[in-house]
Amino acid sequence: MEAIQTTTALTEFQTRPEQYRHWKLELEGSIARLSLNVQDQDEGPDYLLKQNSYDLSVDIELADALQRLRFEHPEVKVLVFDSAIARVFCAGANIYMLGKSSHPFKVNFCKFTNETRLGIENLAEGSGVRTVAALNGTAAGGGYELALACEQIYLVDDGSSAVSFPEVPLLAVLPGTGGLTRLVDKRKVRRDVADIFCTVAEGFKGKRAKQWGLVDDFFPRSKWDEKIAEVCQAASDNSTRATDWQGISLDPVRMTITESGLEFDHVSLQLDEQSRTATLEVKAPASNAPTTAEGMLSEGCRFWALQAFRELDLALLHLRMDYPGINVVRLVTTGQVKDVLRLDAALFEHREHGFVKEVLLHMGRVLRRLDLTAKSFYALIEPGSSFAGSLFELALAADRSYMEIPEEGENQVALSALNGGSFSMSHGKSRLQNRFHGEESQVGTVLEKIGQSFDAEEAEEAGLVTMSLDDLDYEDEVRLALEERASFSPDALTGMEASLRFPGAENCDSKIFGRLSAWQNWIFQRPNAVGPKGAITSYGQPTRPEFDFNRT
């Protein structure tokens, strides 16, 4: 077999506010302001980040800032976005960067970007932090998508600033990182109006933008600061943010790069390049993990439920961006089922406490990142596993789960109250509801047994695992299943998994990622976009793109 493709250096996903190059975070009472001022790198990328256009490094800083507002600054009730550059809010993703990037990087870049946008929406919906886009300059493409992730959008009326989606007329692609879907599903812009908007490269300014629902209002530059201050104060007054707890410091996640993978305190990622597989292991909490809200808060970022899922999040990001040749991932856990259930019960009991609420929201975002990762996941439930409660969500997220029936001893799984809906998927369902789509009564049946253990045969009968196998067959069956999966076309698997993981009705979030996985993945490979004379390839050149006008 061919060895896996691995990037020469791991992507650096961790940063801190004092290291930001592109964003300035200012705090004033209950209001936080993130101002965009994208800087070119001293070395590295061979493209210019003009007009506040962004690359991955810009979104990494934004994702970090959102996390710090959640955990370090519970006093913040409003987050306002603006630009530090006159007349330009954000020009969207840097086209020269996209033109020079590999196809896998393009797709994973867009995926991370949109997960960050979803994080802004989760900040509002889950944490109660009101979000305001103060467009003090033109917002184009991904810049307007950033605005669309906010609850309120305001545009300066200065005779030149506009909002636009120029991707179709200029780049032969679509606003596929969420723009089209948010436009009609979230802003509820009429489809014929949206059709015009998406094909007029220069976009629309204040009066027309408000008339068509593209912004909430527009203000002249002479009254801009005053009006935005009024908007932010009103938003602060309407915030539901829990501010009755002291923020913690989000220290960097400790990660060791080894010859065989990545090691964290509670998570391990082991790579098998010959078989194109990896093993992702999560360790259960210790038996003495705190069970009071005050005890959890006192541990800060080292509290297991926060630290382990921060580590899992980082491992998933590296799997996506740095190990494209890994096709199949074994999900395993170690530790005691009872320790997971004990901590889960405490998390559920204190779920309205400000810090605990943020921890649960973070766990949910990480699990959704797993759902949306283009790898095949097989949960292997063996003696010594701790697939219970919050860690059983990993098995529910997996494409298949195999559970061993040991000749001696026990192998058990269990549910906790957190499996009842604390960690919703992108389309709004719990993973139990997703698993029993069409068998809604079974959700209630298994939840009646919260805290009780299921052995392998009971788990299969209840539908909680795919297959239970005795110890004589288990190893061979799992090995053959992994080998078969790794031999399939990864493109076919990505399409298959994206279709099967989200049965039932869609919502805005799941539509965005369905389109990202299919349409944008396809369009980014088409000659009209990235061919020798495609629109992205020709961008900024004196020649015009040449299209194949045969429509498919």
Domain 17-237 falls in which CATH fold? 2-enoyl-CoA Hydratase; Chain A, domain 1 (3.90.226)
Asked, colleague to colleague, whether 17-237 and 256-496 share their fold, the answer is: yes
**Encoded tokens for 159:** 């005779």
Q: What is the pLDDT of residue 272?
A: 95
**Encoded tokens for 37:** 């001022």
Break the chain into its structural domains and give their ranges.
17-237, 256-496
CA atoms of 133 and 131, how far apart (whole Å): 7
CA atoms of 525 and 260, how far apart (whole Å): 32
Q: What is the pLDDT of residue 526?
A: 83
Q: Is the distance from CB of 312 to CB of 304 less than 8 angstroms?
A: no
220-232 per-residue burial string, b: 16 or more CB within 10 A, e: under 16: eeeebeebbeebb
Question: What is the residue-level pLDDT of the chain in tens, covering all 552 positions?
Answer: 343 445 458 999 999 999 999 999 999 999 999 999 999 876 567 778 888 999 999 999 999 999 999 999 999 999 999 999 999 999 998 888 888 888 888 889 999 999 999 999 999 999 999 999 999 999 999 999 999 999 999 999 999 999 999 999 988 888 877 888 999 999 999 999 999 999 999 999 999 999 999 999 999 999 999 999 999 999 999 999 988 899 999 999 999 999 999 999 999 999 998 999 999 999 999 999 999 999 999 999 999 999 999 999 999 999 999 999 999 999 999 999 999 999 999 999 999 999 999 999 999 999 999 999 999 999 999 999 999 999 999 999 999 999 999 988 899 999 999 999 999 999 999 999 999 998 999 999 999 999 999 999 999 999 999 999 999 999 999 999 999 999 999 989 988 998 899 999 989 998 888 877 777 777 878 888 888 888 888 887 888 888 888 776
Q: Is the distance from CB of 137 to CB of 38 less than 8 angstroms?
A: no
Predicted TM-score of the model (pTM): 0.94
CA atoms of 493 and 371, how far apart (whole Å): 14
CA atoms of 78 and 128, how far apart (whole Å): 9
Classify domain 256-496 by CATH number: 3.90.226.10
Q: What is the pLDDT of residue 44?
A: 62
CA atoms of 27 and 282, how far apart (whole Å): 36
Full DSSP string of 524-547: TTSHHHHSTT-HHHHTTSSSPP--
Q: What is the pLDDT of residue 106?
A: 87
**Encoded tokens for 155:** 């545009």
Task: Tell me the CA distances in angstroms from 396 to 176, 288, 432, 517, one per residue in order.
Answer: 28, 27, 7, 21
